[in-house]
Structure 1
């Protein structure tokens, strides 16, 4: 049974008081359902635990429609190369939560170790093994996802609604 893979974009509101900008927290999501409206989905996430300076994996089955901060899903691909469980196992085995030194190629990308860097590293691997095929240049993946996130925020005509989940194809 094929799985769908995407990036759920969680809006973290900035603060004028602390002079911090808003940004998207990236959560890799996978599901066997035909639509992102079917919940829950498997979430594969890199989090910074409270009170800790490091990062930790978080793998869960979560209903992303329960959070008003989730702006939508950027649908990346559908594949039969993995099941949801084997996809999670591959990520757990190959992509640690700590900074492994991988950096985004090109001039436009996240600086340092972030949830976006971690997901982009996974996508780089999936692209290399032929699971994720895209006619877009990989170096523009980061800005493409951010631009699609902006469109999700504005709910433009390009946004597809799958139930209450806003979806944009990569």
Structure 2
């Protein structure tokens, strides 16, 4: 594992302490570590969330990105529709870790970055009911509490936050990079 590149923004210490991906130099969240199908250890897949790990971390009130216990505030990151429905496919995390993900994760940070084609091995699975389209903005909602619901017929977990105390909007600028918007509440 290597260290993060020099041009990476400030990373919370708990996230910086994670193992790093050798190719990208990015911290590897625990939810992106998957058991090897051959039974020989594990592998990293940034395109898919390990539902067993993410559900366990959420139930234990641990950050999905760094794995450490979350304090009073927790954050959810998603598009406007997720915020409208107050229903998230991605698990919660520390507000600082989720803020770092906005610039670290290429899929989030770069407007033209697309997920791998579904027919490519390791491309991930789009959750049931999702359309897979990338939103034009991401909202970082901060709340105190949430519920975790496992949907057994889909093998999928949904996260239901309490009403947000704060919502920070991030939009793609003319350069195609995600940046804070002015319509934050």
Return the TM-score normalized by structure 1. 0.28
Task: Between the two structures, name the one with larger relative contact order (CA 8 Å, sep ≥ 6).
Answer: 1
Return the TM-score normalized by structure 2. 0.26
